[in-house]
Amino acid sequence: FVGSTRTAAKINHRLALNSVEKRVPLARLVAETGGLNVLVADSSALPEQVCDAVLASFAQSAGQRCSSARILVVDNGCKNELARMIQGGLSAMRVSKANLNLSTDVGPLISEIAADKARTHCDELESGGARIIARAVGEDDGALFHPRVYDLNPEP
């Protein structure tokens, strides 16, 4: 199962009840409930490969896969070059509500509530001193949320 912790718990509970009611062995449940995945790039990493991995993981599927990375840890020596590359990649992406259109790279999030949570998180990052270093072109609208990358430790 891939989904929310709440739904995984309900499924697990139902499996347990089924086991007791039917006197059968308890079925095994494997659940992926939205871990916090990280990409790490040290100074030996090729910036082009890191950029490709970031764009694929952070932006494709609107970041809504259980395997999507949410954190990028980068060696300070390649941070600026990598930020420029990521900005170039995000600038080239088409973010659109027309998710059935083959030219759309990033479609809307699952709901306006999810997009509002993402925007609130971005506001909290910025009020906490994080600096936006890359963002897809365009304006957020309803469930449409444009991918962005923040530097959580910006130099003064």
Q: In whole numbers, what is the pLDDT of the chain averaged over residues?
A: 88
32 a catalytic residue: yes
pLDDT of the chain, 156 residues: tens digit per residue: 667 788 888 999 999 999 999 999 988 888 777 667 788 998 899 999 999 998 888 766 555 666 677 889 999 888 999 999 999 999 999 999 998 889 988 889 889 999 999 999 999 999 999 999 999 999 999 999 999 999 998 887
155 a catalytic residue: no
Q: Are 29 and 8 in contact (CB under 8 A)?
A: yes
Alpha carbons within 13 angstroms on the beta-carbon side of residue 149 total 27
**What tokens does 95 get?**
């973010």
| pLDDT in the model for residue 146 | 93
- One of 48, 66, 124, 126 is an active-site residue; which one? 66
- Of 14, 74, 69, 18, nearest to 47 by C-alpha is 74
